[in-house]
């Protein structure tokens, strides 16, 4: 008899259809069944000895909440017997939905088992699940955006370290880090089998994108970094396994049913007796020719458009052509942002790495980028590369032309009679939360309200020294220091200035947006030790 190993995860949901992801213990037919006759089935497909299915659920009614169960070969496996949680539901948006709620955050290190000591404090997703389970009628997100570092391949828990030691020992590289696809599955089990999170992901749709720790810290920092990694004996298997596991566990669920139907790789993997080699070849192409693969995607929720941008694998790393996005990715982003702009009221640009940073951090990254490309000579270039790696200087500011291109695109999208009410850049990565507002020179800015909204971590920590550094980074003294760095690097003035409008806030936290008509409201909530979420700030963004 097939057993449910992982899931269900409710991924895509629109007015009439949804997708639900599961992993089973053996080949079988997976089914989602609803009391009103809605549902769907899918046979499992095999990758590296594991059996997965993404079930398309049809026949749903717009603007409703429908309970569902999961069956494997006609045997019920979800909800589990005696579950303390309410039935999992698929909530669909009405065709004319007046309001859309979006929650987002990043950087979730797996919580320890129940009763274990948590070294990084309460988990914000656990807290959200506890609140929703206690009151099924409570306000809940229409979608949860997980903006990177869903798993930590390079910072495993003690329990996972013990499993690695029992399987292959820790003496050889990569030591106490995951090495292959099988070990990646352990990370997902540890993270997604957390009871509260498992239930939450079964009943709130999710959109996901990777960041560096999904593969390794500072993934794709520079061309020389990548060359050094490729010279190690373990990197190739680690990267292929990271991309393969991401495709299975995260990427597939980001796609619409129509996109899945048109995806040749997905069709081939499902039809194969074993899709491992097909997926491995795909991951190899993604490594050698990153521009041939698109991890970015678009989702529309009523009159809210989300563009989730890959700011890791799509990079061009050659110093002479350094760019956050390859040419095809830049074209895609522009086309999606400008496509029928009058059809949406809010544009959300999801990118794991913040576009607008504390001023000193931004200036240091742009200065370092100038050093690395040789503005001050070879000796400074060598110093710049060492500093770039040591200080994690690889955000949008470290790709100055890309920073400017994004500013120009936002201004173009946000200007004119068909402009949206807001353009909001949603990010994580930096283990604190803040809001920042750009200003264009001489009143040339867009008509839309533009904000950088950063929220991290969901469940992790930041040392006190880093907290002090981020606070200092916004100060007047820091701005003066940043100007000196810019002069030394011969850096031009940025195309926009910006000011911090909220934060910095620290702790395990989630941001949420309530988008109604052309209004937008922001709330930041922090997880407390008693398992509750407490509101840190609540503000109207478009008043």
Instruction: Give me the residue spans of the domains in the chain.
Output: 1-96, 97-540
pTM: 0.97
How far is Cα of residue 244 from the mean position of the Cα atoms in its chain? Answer: 17
Question: CB–CB of 517/97 below 8 Å?
Answer: no
- 23: closest CA among 38, 1, 35, 8? 8
Question: CB–CB of 372/385 below 8 Å?
Answer: yes
CA-to-CA dists, residue 267 to 70, 243, 270, 311, angstroms: 23, 18, 5, 27
The CB-based long-range contact list for 469-472 (8 Å cut-off, 24+ gap) reads 470/358, 470/361, 470/430, 470/432, 470/504, 471/504, 472/360
CATH number of 97-540: 3.60.21.70
Amino acid 342: pLDDT: 85
Per DSSP, the three-state class of 408 is helix
Residues 6+ apart with CB under 8 A from 424: 346, 347, 348, 349, 450, 451, 453, 513, 520, 541
Segment (H or E) for 437:
strand 433-439
| Beta partners for residue 349, in sequence order | 307, 425
Question: CB–CB of 332/379 below 8 Å?
Answer: no
Helices (H) and strands (E) in the chain, counts: 16, 23
Count how many residues are written for the chain: 543
Backbone angles phi, psi at 285, to 5 degrees: -65, -40
Residues 6+ apart with CB under 8 A from 300: 306, 344
Question: CB–CB of 180/242 below 8 Å?
Answer: no
Report the distance separating Cα 121 and Cα 273, nearest Å: 44
Residues 6+ apart with CB under 8 A from 269: 45, 47, 275, 278, 279
Low-confidence ranges of the chain (pLDDT < 50): none
DSSP conformation class of 323: B
CA-CA-CA-CA torsion sign (90, 95, 100, 105): positive
Rg of the chain over Cα atoms, rounded to whole angstroms, equals 23
Question: CB–CB of 311/399 below 8 Å?
Answer: no
Helix then strand then coil, in percent of the chain rounded to 5, is 35, 25, 40
CATH number of 1-96: 2.60.40.380
Q: Which two tokens stand for residue 529?
A: 């030790």
Task: For residue range 348-396, list pLDDT tens digits in order.
Answer: 999 999 999 999 999 999 999 999 999 999 999 999 999 999 999 999 9
Q: Which two tokens stand for residue 25?
A: 């213990």
The DSSP string of 31-58 is: EEE-TTS-EEEEE-EEETTEEEEEEEEB
Per DSSP, the three-state class of 4 is strand
Segment (H or E) for 344:
none
Question: CB–CB of 341/418 below 8 Å?
Answer: yes
Per DSSP, the three-state class of 184 is helix
Report the distance separating Cα 387 and Cα 371, nearest Å: 10
Amino acid 115: pLDDT: 67
Report the distance separating Cα 59 and Cα 42, nearest Å: 16
Neighbours of 380 (CB within 10 A): 18
Question: CB–CB of 295/210 below 8 Å?
Answer: yes
Residues 6+ apart with CB under 8 A from 541: 422, 424, 449, 451, 519, 520, 521, 522
């Amino acid at each position: 008899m097939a057993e449910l190993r992982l899931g269900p995860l409710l991924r895509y949901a629109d007015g009439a259809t949804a997708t639900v992801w599961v992993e089973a213990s053996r080949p079988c037919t997976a089914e989602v069944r609803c009391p009103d006759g809605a549902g769907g089935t899918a046979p499992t497909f095999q990758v590296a000895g594991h059996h997965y299915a993404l079930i398309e659920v049809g026949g749903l009614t717009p603007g409703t909440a429908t309970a569902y169960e999961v069956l494997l070969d006609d045997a019920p496996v979800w909800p589990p017997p005696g579950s303390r949680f309410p039935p999992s539901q698929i909530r669909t948006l009405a065709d004319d939905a007046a309001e859309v709620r979006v929650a987002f955050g990043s950087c979730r290190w797996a919580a320890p088992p129940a009763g274990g000591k948590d070294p990084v404090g309460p988990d914000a997703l656990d807290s959200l699940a506890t609140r929703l389970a206690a009151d099924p009628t409570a306000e809940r997100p229409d979608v949860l955006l997980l903006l990177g570092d869903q798993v930590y391949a390079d910072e495993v828990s003690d329990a996972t370290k013990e499993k690695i030691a029992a399987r292959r020992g820790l003496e050889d590289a990569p030591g106490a880090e995951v090495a292959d696809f099988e070990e990646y599955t352990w990370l997902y089990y540890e993270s997604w089998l957390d009871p509260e999170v498992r239930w939450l992901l079964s009943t709130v749709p999710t959109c996901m994108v990777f960041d560096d720790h999904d593969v390794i810290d500072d993934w794709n920092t520079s061309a020389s970094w990548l060359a050094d990694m490729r010279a190690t004996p373990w990197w190739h298997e680690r990267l292929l396994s990271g991309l393969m596991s991401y495709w299975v566990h995260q990427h597939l669920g980001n796609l619409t049913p129509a996109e899945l139907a048109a995806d040749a790789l997905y069709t081939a993997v499902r039809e194969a007796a074993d899709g491992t080699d097909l997926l491995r070849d795909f991951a190899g192409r993604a490594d050698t020719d990153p521009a041939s693969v698109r991890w970015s995607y678009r989702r529309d929720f009523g009159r809210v458009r989300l563009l989730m941008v890959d700011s890791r694998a799509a990079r061009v790393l050659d110093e002479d052509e350094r760019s956050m996005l390859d040419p095809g990715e830049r074209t895609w982003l522009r086309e999606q942002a400008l496509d029928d702009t009058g059809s949406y009221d809010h544009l959300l640009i999801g990118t794991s790495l913040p576009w607008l940073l504390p001023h000193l951090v931004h200036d240091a990254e742009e200065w370092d980028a100038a050093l690395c490309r040789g503005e001050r000579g070879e000796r400074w270039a060598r110093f710049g590369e060492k500093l770039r790696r040591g200080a994690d200087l690889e955000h949008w500011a470290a790709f100055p032309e890309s920073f400017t291109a994004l500013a120009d695109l936002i201004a173009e999208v946000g200007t004119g009679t068909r402009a949206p009410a807001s353009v909001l850049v949603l990010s994580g990565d930096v283990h604190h939360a803040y809001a920042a507002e750009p200003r264009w020179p001489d009143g040339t800015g867009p008509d839309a309200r533009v904000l950088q909204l950063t929220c991290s971590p969901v469940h992790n920590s930041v040392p006190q020294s880093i907290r002090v550094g981020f606070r200092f980074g916004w100060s007047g003294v820091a701005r003066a220091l940043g100007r000196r760095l810019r002069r030394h690097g011969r850096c031009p003035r940025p195309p926009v200035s910006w000011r911090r409008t909220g934060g910095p806030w620290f702790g395990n936290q989630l941001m949420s947006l309530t988008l109604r008509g052309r209004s937008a409201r922001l709330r930041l909530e922090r997880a407390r030790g008693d398992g509750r979420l407490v509101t840190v700030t609540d503000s109207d963004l478009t008043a």
